[in-house]
Chains A and B, each alone.
Chain A
């Protein structure tokens, strides 16, 4: 895959995941996306598999985060803080890796998720929103567990 195709398709994937992220597949009384944050996985996996994927010098990532905030009813800037944190951890991991080692990438993804969810928790405390902590924890765990499912096709296409 050529570099321009890689970067354009990465942007398109992220945008699709944000705009179409309401598939109405219900699992235990909740939408399946209550459990998994696909955007988090995509940002990390795309950046780490293809280091030239910097989402138009991060402008695109920033705009995507604003779209996500509006469509999910979050305070503006929330997704920006999270997306950029994940991108920063992925950039760091991409800069030190010599080859694709799944376990080390998964571990780094886990660290990125801990930081991202900590920021989410702090934001929740600031806004004073009633948050379901069991859903929050489940979302965190399932997002980490779902990483390998996305990692394999993304590495095959973008590495």
Chain B
């Protein structure tokens, strides 16, 4: 490439130098060398937390505006909170009964028991580009997070961890084209794989369904455990039928409500 002025000749040299540096960094990172992983984790953490710090004042201002307008709904909100508190107590009691029944049934059939301690994490960055739709959470390897750990919101599976730094982790949503989750569907217990697929409704697709499958709508989709890579029985969504009786998957989570999530730590009991 030819540059006309003498100052641009200098630019040309610098472009070549930085191009070589970028290529070198790319090769090291793409080759996934073990010695580079702590460096990469450190770079990731420092950039993620610095950019988050830059965002804080703007987020604060935006939240203040929202908070100001919500002041007018105070009484209504308090009433709703009271109702929800009562509902929580009711659900906690029901949950206790169900857990005891499950444990009793597991003992009868001799099913392997798993404990899945989870920890709350805050989504600090949500990004979407042509390669990825990812979100970054504020828990990392120092908090015990590992690659492959499922991410849930209100006990609904939303994605899994794909990269772990020291104090942050990167996760993909179920709708990501690279996401694959073994699932079981409805009372017929069809086994299938749930993929992210951009041309399907809600960006989710079921593959490897048995040939004889048929859906009536309303079948619940939940995870199935294969070698403990995913906990058994995490709810994902349900099957719905459109006007042409073609089924699609309706996930139970909402993308814009993933500011707080839980990361399940996969451990066998």
Taking beta carbons and an 8 Å cutoff, which residues of A are in contact with B?
A: 19-22, 24, 29-31, 33-34, 37, 51, 54, 57-58, 61-62, 65-67, 70-78, 80-81, 84-85, 87-88, 91-92, 94-96, 120, 123-124, 126-127, 129-132, 134-136, 139
Taking beta carbons and an 8 Å cutoff, which residues of B are in contact with A?
A: 1-5, 8, 11-12, 14-15, 18-19, 21-30, 40, 43-44, 47-48, 51, 54-55, 58, 125-134, 136, 162-163, 170, 177-178, 198-199, 202-203, 256
In the complex, what residues of B have CB within 8 A of residue A77's CB? 22-27, 29
A interface, over-half SS: helix
A80 to B28, CA, bound (A): 14
Given A73-B170, A75-B30, A95-B4: A129 in contact with B178 (beta carbons within 8 A): yes
A62 to B18, CA, bound (A): 7
In the complex, what residues of A have CB within 8 A of residue B14's CB? 54, 57-58
Q: Say yes or no: B21 contacts A126, CB within 8 Å.
A: no
Complex partner residue of A88 from B1, B28, B130, CB under 8 angstroms = B1
In the complex, what residues of A have CB within 8 A of residue B133's CB? 30-31, 34
A-B CB pair tally, cutoff 8 Å: 140
* Additional pairs, 18, CB under 8 Å, beyond known A70-B44, A77-B26, A92-B1: A24-B126, A29-B203, A34-B128, A58-B14, A58-B18, A70-B48, A71-B125, A72-B127, A72-B131, A73-B170, A74-B131, A76-B26, A81-B22, A84-B19, A95-B8, A129-B131, A129-B178, A134-B199
Determine which residue in B2, B11, B40, B256 has the highest number of CB atoms from chain A within 10 A of its CB, and name it: B11
Q: Say yes or no: A54 contacts B11, CB within 8 Å.
A: yes
A62 to B45, CA, bound (A): 18
Q: Say yes or no: B128 contacts A31, CB within 8 Å.
A: yes
A123 to B23, CA, bound (A): 11
Q: Say yes or no: A126 contacts B30, CB within 8 Å.
A: yes
Residue of B nearest to A32 (CB): B128
Q: Say yes or no: B15 contacts A80, CB within 8 Å.
A: no
In the complex, what residues of B have CB within 8 A of residue A61's CB? 18
Chain A nearest Cβ from B242, distance in angstroms:
16
List 11 A-B pairs, Cβ < 8 Å.
Answer: A51-B8, A58-B15, A58-B18, A67-B51, A71-B51, A71-B127, A73-B170, A80-B21, A80-B22, A85-B19, A95-B4
